[in-house]
Copies of this chain bind each other. A is one copy, B any other.
Amino acid sequence: MVRNIKLTVAYDGTNYNGWQTQTNGIGIQEVIENAAARVMKQKIELTGSGRTDSGVHALGQVANFKADTRIEEQKIKIALNANLPHDISILDSVDVPLEFNSRFDAHDKTYMYQIYNSRVGNPFYRNYSTFVPSILDMGKMEEAFKLVVGTHDFRAFMAAGSQAKTTVRTVYSTRIEKEGNLIRLYVTGSGFLYNMVRIIAGTLIDVGKGLKEISCIENALESKERALLGQTAAPEGLFLLSVNYNKVL
């Protein structure tokens, strides 16, 4: 009997070319598909909630696949983990209705961007944060971060050359936290354009350094000019924390 299995996945993106397989390297999706194919003894096609770039991490990526199998739902997790490298971990495996689609049914996603803010870099965070040795004004960063909340045309917050049917997105909430030398930016939204979170993070870093004004966010939302914003922050600071689905699964 064909079932639809929803996976919650954590991965360290350091050694992969992102979620989706690229011509120049292996993607996390393919590694999981291959592991599932070995376990299920059939070809597996995995649908992820969305792509993550090379070097980007996930603590709660969601994906689903259809398979004809009798393995108990919780044992699928165990079997997959036994067939996966240690930098990819299946946190959960559950049966969902056949019509469930990780990508199209996603209601909102939360990302976290991590900044290591200290005079000296930390060897243990080099792949999990962007290193900023300058003093950052957290108050200004917080104020600027709040300005992205709401339904806006985020065209200015998108990597050049990327395609999207519409560039209107809704950001539900933002939050900034400091723990020791780590500054964490949390953002929850209906969806994000390509590089949107990293452009927000790069702009907030510039605001924190005093290189950009808080008002650059409003100006960019209005004028849609990418040039008003800061650089795209490095991928290794970005984590996909969770994907939420409204329906009970």
| A192–chain B nearest beta-carbon distance, Å | 22
A121 on the B face (CB < 8 A):
yes
Contacts of A90 in B (CB 8 A): 120
Bound CA–CA A90/B123 (angstroms): 10
B-contact bits for A1-38, CB 8 A (1 contact / 0 none): 00000000011100000000000000000000000000
* A120 touches which of B12, B57, B89, B123 (Cβ 8 Å): B89
CB distance from A80 to the nearest CB of B (A): 10
Chain B residues near A81 (CB-CB < 8 A) = 120-121
Tell me if A121 and B86 are in contact (CB < 8 A): yes
Instruction: Give the residue name and chain of the B residue nearest to A81 (CB).
Output: B120
- Name the B residues within 8 Å of A151 (CB-CB): none
CB closest chain-B residue, reference A12? B123
Nearest B residue to A239 via CB reads B124
| A91 close to B (CB within 8 Å) | yes
A86 to B125 alpha-carbon distance, docked (Å): 9
Determine if A12 and B124 form an interchain contact, defined as CB atoms under 8 angstroms apart: yes
Nearest B-chain residue to A9, judged by Cβ: B123
* Neighbouring B residues of A11 by C-beta, 8 Å: 123
Complex interface residues of chain A between 52 and 110 (CB less than 8 A to chain B): 57, 77, 81, 86-91
> Can you list 23 A-B pairs, Cβ within 8 angstroms, ordered by A?
A10-B123, A10-B124, A11-B123, A12-B123, A12-B124, A12-B126, A57-B124, A77-B120, A81-B120, A81-B121, A86-B121, A86-B123, A86-B126, A86-B131, A87-B123, A87-B126, A88-B123, A89-B120, A89-B121, A89-B122, A90-B120, A91-B120, A124-B128
Which residues of A are interface residues toward B (Cβ below 8 A)? 10-12, 57, 77, 81, 86-91, 120-124, 126, 128, 131
